[in-house]
Amino acid sequence: MIAFLLPAAIGLAGLAVAPVVIHWLTRQRARPLAFPAAGLLARATGGLARVKRLREHIVLLLRVLALALAALAAAGPLMSGFGTSARPVAIVLDASCSMRQVSDGSTAFSRGRAAAARLAEALSPRPLVALVAGATTLRSSPVLESGAGAAKALLAEAQPGYGDGDLAGAIAQAVRLLSGSGDIFVVSDGSRSALSGVDTGHLPDGVRLHLVDAGGGGANHGVVSISVEPGVAVAGRPLLWRARIANYSVVDAVIPVRFACGPASRAVDLPVPAGGSALVELTITPPDAGWLTASVEIPAGDALVEDDRRDAAVQVVPALEAVVAGDGSRSDAAGALRPLVAGLTAAGFHVRLADGAALAAGASQGATLVATAGLASRDAESALAAHMAGGGTWLHVLVSDADALIRPGGAIPPTEPGPRADLASDGRSPLLIARARMEHPLFEPFAGREPLLSEISAMRLRLTPQGAAGGADVLATWADGSVAVGERRIGTGRWLILNISTAGVDTTLARSEAWPLLCGRIAAQCAAPRREDAATPVGSSILLPWLHDPSGERLDAHDGRLRPDHPGLWRGNAGRAVAVAVPASESDLRRIGGVNASTRSADDVLAEAERRPLWPWLLALAVVCLIAEILVAGAVRTVKP
Amino acid sequence: MPLSAQHVPRLPAAALELAARRALEGRRGGRHRSPFHGSAVEFSDHRAYQAGDDLRHMDWRILARRDQMLTRRYREERSLPVVLLLDSSASMDWGDPSKLQHATICLAALGLLALTQGDEVRIAAGANAVAAIAEPLCGEGSTSEMCRRLAAASAGPGDPARIVSSCAAHLPRRHLLVVASDLLDSDPAELARAFGAAHARGHECAVLQILTRAEIDLPAAWGACAISDPEGRTTAFACDAGAAKRAYDLAIRAHVDACARACAAARADHRLAVSDEPAAATIGRWLATRRARR
């Protein structure tokens, strides 16, 4: 049986009569002529005329055939009924939050799951595997199997998540399971978030991707972010909340919004343009330190209710906190800690002292800066990594041999410290800071006062070979080329390495006027000006041992990480609050344009997948006809009697 | 077709001469060799004296030397009997000027030359050419009559080979038969047989094969044509002149060559003429060639 992808294109077959019409219109009209040598002429050319007429008819036939075949090929004929393909199949079901959207009384997920089940049933004779791209996990039936028992069971128990299903990852996994050959059916609502990152152009040649439409694409409003300014909330200082409300519909809307933060609340009717967003602001001054939460709500009634409420949480600190740890047993005036503490205190930090064990136990919680100098052990590596992952700054002062060995989270250190050199005992002159990148924000206070930096001299330091900065941004160097100050971004945090010991026996930093200025600048940089979203997206990794979800159920960490799988206000120890929200991208239910959006119903896709395309053959046949026509027509034109 | 003596080109009789290659039997005395013996200036041979012979022809010198009575014989010169055979079939009435016009003028010029030489000219033209052979015309005063007879030739089917055969059998004496035809429908073998038979009867044959330029060199510009035969011997057919030119040109050349070979085999003279050339030039070149070969 033959079906057509573009049946209307069959009408183009009418063009096939064009050569006949052209031939008829342009044919040579024979004029009557009496010729005495007609007998001779007839005997001389009789056979030739017959051959020429035959060739002309063949040329005409070939032209008609070529056009008719090309028109048929344009109609995209598909032939079925020649047996079922044995190509393996992978069914990928989108379980992202956008699949929770409701239209026509059912969710896109329920429709998609039914379509996936229908596909699994229809394609069960073929080796089949199913994958569910959920919020936090990618679940897959074990292996390619005939009968699709495990796949059907997986699909039957699948539930939609609250996060952004990783369809691109699921497709990549499906390609691996199919070993480079087979059909992948992606059942999705076709929203922008679902199909972002899916690049059909990079699939192997043997893999065909079929997008199955689960329906949806309705109008939606959502709270997509709650930002806070400043990024570090300090008790007694004003805090500005900003909630962004998006209108993913084709008409402008006035959206009622209720904003609440502790005792303060605000209700507004917010005009939001179609396809745009608007902000709602609320200012509050937290009186005490502790955890402060906020929530923004818009009334339900659109396609997706999960994004109509968003919680946010920030920790209010009494002041900018710094934890200073290390220096082993040396706490005398010549040690490194005392000048460090003094400098940070002078810069406005509330300084707490700790050692490596205390850091490992969580002493850095709530601190925006952790400074270590002469840390005797590597116990605090995980804590330092978590601190930086949470946006904190680690001031790493290289004093002892152990300092050089600390590798937070196994990361490459920003510099590779070389051997420690005692210049004075070696009879060498102290080194001076030779070069500093004065345009860097860290050295902003030294603008016009460069000698303050260049006067710092080192008697003992680690000689770091030039170029061994390990990806760090070298901000200043000693006269021999060793790194003096380096910086590297680790996640959202910062690793600031200081190869200038604060100990008086090592360098003149502590006695220099540059030190208070440097500490002040570090303090200013530690207080983030703004935090873009005070909520964590569902499925994100949180470095906490456990949390209670909004219903009070406890979730324990695996491998030191927690992945909350639904939105709401989660609680930890000591009153810690973690706001978990639907990813902002899931609110946009509009269909993506372009190639990836050519989704069709399961029946259509199934029919297409089971049919063999005939058009390449027809096109090839048309080309053959065309070539034959050129050859025969050439022979007609060059025919020699 | 009206044809008057003014239209007939007058060939320079001093330079050109219509003469036969063999002795023909003119009825009147003239300037051409004949098989007859009589009183003339050209000695032929001796024969034994017979009673009644004119004693003026006795060869006295031989009688005096050898005592043998021999009578001197002289070859008699007579006029040249010419028969002008005009093919007036439908195929001849084609072209501009038509082959028939050209053939008529050529024969008229030839006839005029013969009359000027004092020879006798007969005209055989039209559908029943043999029956139309009339009394011979003599003297320049017969030019108008000759033109009238040529112009009065009626159109009709005519096979040159058959006409020549009939004429050769019909004519009581040896003649120079000059045929003007396109020979398009003639079988060269038939021509050879007819001319051979005429030669055997003592006649001398000459053929002026007259074709138009288009018949010799088929114009490719004609393009697609529905060709019909003026004589109706061939069924009408479609033809592309451009495509057929090469084959046709070869075929007509082969046919002309075959006709020439057939004439040569029958010791007949053959000359190809193109209808758009001046008749005087056609006849002049032919006579010059004949003279050179004589």
CB contact under 8 A, B246 and A640: yes
Structurally, what CATH architecture does the domain formed by A220-317+531-587 represent? Sandwich (2.60)
Residue A29: closest C-alpha in chain B: B224
Instruction: Give the minimum alpha-carbon distance from A34 to chain B in angstroms, rounded to a whole number.
Output: 5
Mean pLDDT of B218-241: 85
Report how far apart, in Å, the C-alpha atoms of B57 and of each of B69, B71, B175, B215 are: 11, 6, 30, 59
What pLDDT does residue B169 have? 85
What pLDDT does residue A333 have? 45
Q: Please tell me whether the peptide bond between B35 and the residue prior to it is cis, using omega within 30 degrees of 0.
A: no
| B219 part of contact set with chain A, CB < 8 Å | no
Mean pLDDT of A130-158: 78
CB contact under 8 A, A35 and B238: no
Categorize the per-residue pLDDT at A588 as very low, low, confident or very high, splitting at 50, 70 and 90. Answer: confident
What pLDDT does residue B272 have? 92
What pLDDT does residue B264 have? 92
Give the pairing type, strands A128-133 and A138-140: antiparallel
For A42-78, how does the pLDDT look when each residue is reduced to its tens digit (9 = 90+)?
888 766 677 777 888 888 899 899 888 888 888 888 7
CB-CB: which of A30, A37, A40 is closest to B238? A30
Mean pLDDT of B129-145: 79
Q: Which of A108-112, A141-145, A401-405, B117-121 has the highest mean pLDDT?
A: A108-112
What pLDDT does residue B214 have? 92
Residue pair A93/A187 in contact (Cβ under 8 Å)? The answer is yes
For A617-640, how does the pLDDT look when each residue is reduced to its tens digit (9 = 90+)?
888 999 999 898 888 877 655 544
Give the pairing type, strands A393-397 and A420-422: unpaired
Residues of A in contact with B246 (CB under 8 A): 640-641
Residues of A in contact with B248 (CB under 8 A): 37, 40-41, 44-45
The reply to whether A89-218+589-610 and A220-317+531-587 are identical in fold is: no
Structure-token match 């609110």, residue found: A587
Please identify, in words, the CATH class of the domain defined by A89-218+589-610.
Answer: alpha beta
Instruction: Give the minimum alpha-carbon distance from A639 to chain B in angstroms, rounded to a whole number.
Output: 8
What pLDDT does residue A182 have? 86
d(CA A194, CA A93): 11
Structure tokens at A585: 């991208």
Residues of B in contact with A23 (CB under 8 A): none
| B49 part of contact set with chain A, CB < 8 Å | no
What pLDDT does residue A334 have? 52
For A2-40, how does the pLDDT look when each residue is reduced to its tens digit (9 = 90+)?
777 778 888 888 888 888 888 888 776 778 888 888 888
Instruction: Give the minimum alpha-carbon distance from B275 to chain A in angstroms, rounded to a whole number.
Output: 14
What pLDDT does residue B27 have? 67
CB contact under 8 A, A36 and B91: yes
Give the pairing type, strands B176-181 and B137-138: unpaired
Please identify, in words, the CATH class of the domain defined by B80-289.
Answer: alpha beta
Please spell the DSSP secondary structure of chain B, one letter per residue. ----GGGSPPP-TTT-----SS----SSEEEEEEEEE-S-SSEEEEEE--TT--GGGB-HHHHHHH---EEEEEEEEEPPEEEEEE---GGGS-TTTTHHHHHHHHHHHHHHHHHHHT-EEEEEESTTHHHH--SPEESGGGHHHHHHHHHTPPP----HHHHHHHHHHH-SS--EEEEEE--TT--HHHHHHHHHHHHHTT-EEEEEEEE-HHHHS--GGG-EEEEE-TTS-S--EEEEHHHHHHHHHHHHHHHHHHHHHHHHHTT-EEEEEETTS-HHHHHHHHHHHHHHH-
The CB density around residue A554, as the number of other CB atoms within 10 Å, is: 10
User: Looking at the predicted structure, is the pLDDT value of residue A209 above 80?
Assistant: yes
| B60 part of contact set with chain A, CB < 8 Å | no
d(CA A577, CA A621): 70
Q: What is the pTM of this model?
A: 0.49
Structure tokens at A576: 């810690």
For A71-116, how does the pLDDT look when each residue is reduced to its tens digit (9 = 90+)?
888 888 877 644 456 788 899 999 888 888 988 888 999 999 998 8
For A310-362, how does the pLDDT look when each residue is reduced to its tens digit (9 = 90+)?
999 988 877 788 898 886 555 544 577 788 888 888 777 888 888 888 888 88
CB contact under 8 A, A37 and B215: yes
Chain-wide mean pLDDT for chain B? Answer: 83
Residue A35: closest C-alpha in chain B: B229
Higher per-residue confidence, B153 vs A547 = A547
What pLDDT does residue A596 have? 44
User: Looking at the predicted structure, is the pLDDT value of residue A595 above 50?
Assistant: no
CB contact under 8 A, B243 and A43: no
| ipTM computed for the complex | 0.78
Q: Alpha carbon A563 to chain centroid distance?
A: 17
Structure tokens at A552: 């009070």
Higher per-residue confidence, A610 vs A523 = A523
User: Looking at the predicted structure, is the pLDDT value of residue A599 above 60?
Assistant: no
Boundaries of every domain in chain A: 2-80+616-637, 89-218+589-610, 220-317+531-587, 321-526
Domain A321-526, CATH number (from 3.90.1150.10, 3.40.50.880, 3.40.50.1000, 3.40.190.10): 3.40.50.880
Q: What share of chain A is helix, strand, coil (3-state, %, to 5)?
A: 30, 30, 40
Chain-wide mean pLDDT for chain A? Answer: 82
What pLDDT does residue A621 have? 92
d(CA B80, CA B113): 11
CB contact under 8 A, B244 and A41: yes
The interface residues of chain A toward chain B in range 288-317, judged by CB-CB distance below 8 A, are none
Boundaries of every domain in chain B: 29-78, 80-289
CB contact under 8 A, A45 and B233: no
Minimum mean pLDDT range among A221-225, A344-348, A473-477, B66-70:
A344-348
Element (H, E) at A289: none
Residue B222: closest C-alpha in chain A: A31
Reported in sequence order, the residue ranges of A285-425 that DSSP labels E, i.e. its strands, are: 290-297, 309-317, 321-326, 350-354, 369-373, 393-397, 420-422
What pLDDT does residue B2 have? 63
* Alpha helices (H) in A434-557, listed in sequence order: 451-454, 514-526
Categorize the per-residue pLDDT at A378 as very low, low, confident or very high, splitting at 50, 70 and 90. Answer: confident
